[in-house]
Amino acid sequence: MMRILHVFAVCVLLAAVTVAQQAPPAQVSIQEVAQGLPADGSRWLTFGGNYENHRHSPLTQITPANVSRLKQLWTFQTATLGNFETTSLLRDNVLYVTGPQNLAWAIDARTGRQIWRYRRELPPNLTACCGLVNRGFGVLGDKLFMTTLDAHLIALDMKTGAVVWDATLADYKVGHSSTIAPLVVKDKVIVGAAGGEYGIRAFIDAYDAATGKRAWRFYTVPAPGEPGNNTWAGDSWKTGGASVWVTGAYDVEQNLLLYGIGNPGPDYHSDSRKGDNLYSNSLVALDVDTGKLKWHYQFTPHDVHDWDATEVPILADLPIAGQTRKVVMFANRNGFYYTLDRTNGKPIVAKPFVMTTWAKEIGADGRPVLIPGHTPDEKGEVTCPDLVGGTNFWQPSFDPSTRTFFVNAREVCMTFIAWKPTYTPGERFTGGSGQRVRASESPAWGALRAIDPVTGDRKWEFKFLSPSTSGILTTASGLLFSGDADGNLIALDSRSGALLWRYQMGAPLHGTSPTTYVIDGRQHLLVPSGTTLTAWVIE
Amino acid sequence: MTWRTLSAVFVSWALTWAALSAQTIPNKNPYEGNPEAILAGMGGYRVRCADCHGTDGRGVRGPDITQVWSTGRSDEGLFNTIRRGVPNSEMPAFAAPRASDRDIWQMLAYLKTLATPAPNEPPRGNAENGAKLFRTMCVACHKVNGTGGRLGPDLSRIGTARSREVLLARIRRGSEDFRAGFEPVTVTTADGAPIQGVKKNEDLFSVQIMDTRERIQGYEKDKVKAVENGKKSAMPVFGPDRLGDSDLDDLLRYLQTLRGFDPTVKQ
């Protein structure tokens, strides 16, 4: 009897300890995912922090007054080549991180120690265009979802990193790959195909989170008989590209996914694909249950400068001209900032946020008013912005309390050159290229800019010597974290743009931003740069 | 020998032959003169090569490459140079799959259209006297074969990198562009002392320089009075008053003999 009592006492004690730790349920519910960033800082479960992609934390322990007391808590190193472009997820004090070359880890957020590691065996003849990177996990139930460079979507067991299911998106041998962070909505995992420089015909897919079975596919280049196919001359739609490699937003109320679509292929040669080339360089709104298109807005019809619209869309409801408008904010690679009505895709605001020489303005019909002389040919033509764009896939952020949109902007011009390409499956199919204008003629520089989305006007800017490719995190305490191209992690006052603190990381933040969360009551800042993740706390 | 053995031998031979041919680089550019390949190669060249070698191939930071064929390089050798890069130089390797064999051959097909013949004009000047002039006027800033200063670029390979015309223009008229790592800069310290040198690196918050005494040192911008970029190259202009035409010929002749330096210690 004594023995039974003893066992009972141990069980009661264990239960008490468990309750004290307030462990969340074992399974990640869709409600948790949909709630975005909680006030207690206990989780970060989607690419943008919430479905609206605000990348704005409610946490306030780290403030403009104490940010200079940030100290490193730990550093995690990938021990491999390549750089982080990932947004790490956090749940129950564990970080879930994807890295270069389709490595992934579960890491103890208290100490930076690895819990498990996943490595995908990649084929030797990969054609992934622009770096062997990955932009992060999605999560639901007990599974993590990750896209792969050989164009698969895999589900991993959160506890062990073991593969639960493996779905093939498309054939990597003809140029498909996937680097996008999956977005989990309801019971579906939303992903897209990259490979716009290889003459693929791209798509957005939804997969059943439990089984990996494909629920629907939306081709970003319509086939004959489908609306929009007449915007592609002849058979050019077959190699139209229009890839999808940056996570979109989800509008809960309208049940709509909003995703930015990449450039048409071939990138630069106009005559190879006459027409507007839908849905390249567009924002598309898809019903999440069916994948049906509700509306689209094409930022750059018949793009010839490789200006993918694969930037991050941010959703908010804003007071504009006495009305509350449901908007999507979008700083585009083509150099224009847009505030669109997200019920119909019509522009409310469209203004350049960097120097643009190819279009005078966005007309009343929503189309750019072109300035002649900016179609690349064999001799070359100079256009601003360059092919990397006024901004690109690195994440902007939005502070709802001040209604401010923050973006890392580039001021760079380029000589674009084009020639007629020949399509060979699996080989690059760009029909041109760009050469940066010499610094003595047009110096390249960058700035982190705060934009009023109601007017498109600039509130402030923080200038960089060279253009930054870092994402941005803002917090409710009025802080902004980002990085420059030279490896400096910076903290600015998000209301004024004043520099508050900096640290030389040794490698730039590229295509990703810091994130923040709370462990054991202390706010942490997590910084991915180069091949390291570094956690910081206030001392 | 049975048919089975014979066919096994044949299959084995065929596989070996196929493997060898897959690795063999043709010694002649298969795309030479092909108009489409030249156009594609122009694009590739302008994106991958022109920043260093110039749009016209006559060299910016990297060497003049318009005379590579006339000085005896083969298609195959040039292909390998592009594929593997040049060790101990800024020339990177253009590895597969980012640069396919076809990409490289197309770039070479285009470069061939920029190629110029070797100069007909007999070389002028006395290299021996040129070397003496170099030791008097240039060696404080420029290193050749391990001897000389560090403020200016090492000139040990300048004879393969720049044409006579370009060298002449640099000496007589100075340099319009600053090569990265050699931009003139003046740091004024907190106590007002100016430190002149060339810039080795810079970010928003700091600058790293080599001063005129060749001391390499970093400065935090918020702890100095000023960091000013120079408008003119640190390379002085040598007009006819400082260097006569005959001496200029001698100096140029000497520079043209500089074709690389092997730092290996010979016992």
Nearest to A419 among B43, B102, B176 (CB): B43
CB contact under 8 A, A440 and B177: yes
Nearby residues of A101 by Cβ (< 8 Å), 6 or more positions away = A80, A81, A82, A119, A122, A132, A149
Chain-chain contact of B39 with A433 (C-beta, under 8 angstroms)? no
pLDDT at B178: 77
Nearest-neighbour CA in chain B from A488: distance (Å): 8
The CATH homologous superfamily for domain B127-174+236-256 is Cytochrome c-like domain (1.10.760.10)
Q: A440 to chain B nearest CA, in Å?
A: 7
Q: What's the CATH architecture for B183-229? A: Roll (2.30)
Whether the pLDDT of residue A285 is over 90: the answer is: yes
Q: What is the pLDDT of residue B21?
A: 47
Answer whether A378 sits within 8 Å of B40, measured CB to CB: no
Lowest mean pLDDT segment, chosen from A133-147, A270-284, B25-39, B168-182: B168-182
* A94 confidence band (pLDDT: 50, 70, 90): very high
pLDDT tens digits, A508-517? 999 999 999 9
Across the interface, which of B51, B97, B205 has its CB nearest the CB of A488?
B205
Q: Is the dihedral of CA B67, B72, B76, B79 positive or negative?
A: negative
What pLDDT is attached to residue B73? 87
Asked whether the beta carbons of A88 and A95 are under 8 A apart, the reply is: yes
**Contact criterion met (CB < 8 Å) for A378 and B42:** yes
Nearest-angstrom CA–CA distance, B82 and A127 = 20
Overall average pLDDT of the B17-38 stretch: 77
Q: Is the dihedral of CA A35, A40, A45, A46 positive or negative?
A: positive
Which candidate in B48, B183, B203 is best for mutational testing of the A interface (most A CBs within 10 A)? B203
In chain B, domain spans: 27-114, 127-174+236-256, 183-229
| Span A25-538 CATH architecture | 8 Propeller (2.140)
Domain ranges of chain A: 25-538
| Shortest Cα–Cα distance, A209 to chain B (Å) | 34
Give chain A's mean pLDDT.
Answer: 95
Task: Name which of B43, B97, B205 is nearest A417 (Cβ-Cβ).
Answer: B43
Q: What is the mean pLDDT of residues B223-250?
A: 93
Assign A18 a pLDDT band (cuts: 50, 70, 90).
very low
> Is the per-residue pLDDT at B100 higher than 90?
no
Complex prediction ipTM: 0.83
Query: Which residue, A140, A127, A118, is CA-closest to A190?
Result: A140
Q: Is the pLDDT of residue B23 over 80?
A: no
pLDDT band at A307 (very low <50, low <70, confident <90, very high): very high
Q: What pLDDT sits at residue A20?
A: 45
Other CB atoms within a 10 A radius of the CB of residue B18 amount to 9
Residue A530 has a CB neighbour count (10 Å cut-off) of: 17
pLDDT classification of A11: cutoffs 50, 70, 90: low
| Residue A9 to residue B136: CA distance in whole angstroms | 92
Would you list which residues of chain B are within 8 Å, Cβ to Cβ, of chain A?
36, 39-40, 42-44, 46-47, 50-51, 55, 97, 100, 102, 176-177, 202-205
Enumerate the residues of chain B whose CB falls inside 8 A of the CB of residue A197: none
A415 contacts B97? CB cut-off 8 A = no
Residue of A nearest to B201 (CA): A486
Q: What is the pLDDT of residue B179?
A: 81
At residue A78 the predicted structure's pLDDT band, cuts being 50, 70 and 90, is very high
Q: Find residues 108-137 of chain A whose CB sits inside 8 Å of chain B.
A: 125-127
Exposed / middle / buried, residue B64 (Cβ in 10 Å: 0-12, 13-18, 19+): buried
Q: Nearest chain A residue to B39 by CA: give it.
A: A419
- Shortest distance, CA B216 to any CA of chain A (angstroms): 20
Confidence label for B42 from pLDDT (cuts 50, 70 and 90): confident
**pTM to 2 decimal places:** 0.89
Q: Minimal CA–CA distance to A469: which of A410, A526, A412, A419?
A: A410
State the nearest Cα–Cα gap between A293 and chain B, in angstroms: 35
Using an 8 Å CB-CB cutoff, list chain A residues near B233.
Answer: none
Nearest chain A alpha carbon to B55? A435
Task: Give the pLDDT band (50/70/90) at residue A71.
Answer: very high
The SS3 assignment for B265 reads coil
Higher pLDDT, A316 or B9: A316
Q: Which residue on chain B is closest to A432 by alpha carbon?
A: B43
A404-411: strand order across its sheet:
A397-399, A404-411, A445-451, A458-464
| Residue B68 confidence class, pLDDT cut points 50, 70, 90 | confident
Asked if residue A263 has pLDDT above 90, the reply is yes
pLDDT given for residue B262 in this prediction = 67
Positive or negative torsion for Cα B250, B253, B257, B260: positive
Higher pLDDT, B157 or A106: A106
Per-residue pLDDT, averaged over A352-369, amounts to 98
As a whole number, mean pLDDT of residues B78-84 equals: 94
pLDDT of B22 strictly over 70: no
Q: Bigger pLDDT: A194 or A14?
A: A194
Report the distance separating Cα A390 and Cα B37, nearest Å. Answer: 32
Tell me the per-residue pLDDT of B198-211, one tens digit each, with 9 for 90 and over: 999 999 999 999 99
- B127-174+236-256 matches B183-229 in fold: no
**Which residues in chain B touch residue A428, judged by CB atoms under 8 angstroms apart?**
100
pLDDT band at A5 (very low <50, low <70, confident <90, very high): low
Catalytic residues of A: 306
Q: Do B46 and A484 touch (CB under 8 A)?
A: no
Q: What is the mean pLDDT of the segment spanning A112-141?
A: 92
Cβ contacts of residue B135 below 8 Å, gap of 6+? none
- The CA distance from B181 to the nearest CA of chain A, in Å, is 14
Q: Is the pLDDT of residue A442 over 90?
A: no
Mean pLDDT of A239-245: 98
Whether A487 contacts chain B with CB within 8 A: yes
**B27-114 adopts what CATH topology?**
Cytochrome Bc1 Complex; Chain D, domain 2 (1.10.760)
Contact present, A103 and A81 (Cβ < 8 Å): no
* B203·A488 Cβ contact <8 A: yes
Contact B43 A427 (CB under 8 A): no
Amino acid B20: pLDDT = 46
Each residue's pLDDT tens digit, B127-149: 999 999 999 999 999 999 999 99
Res A15: pLDDT: 53
Instruction: Tell me which of A386-400, A490-504, B97-111 is least confident.
Output: B97-111
Task: Specify the pLDDT at position B96.
Answer: 80
Inter-chain contact A484–B43, Cβ cutoff 8 Å? no
Which chain A residues are Cβ-neighbours of B199 within 8 angstroms? none
Interface check for A165 against chain B (CB to CB < 8 A): the answer is no
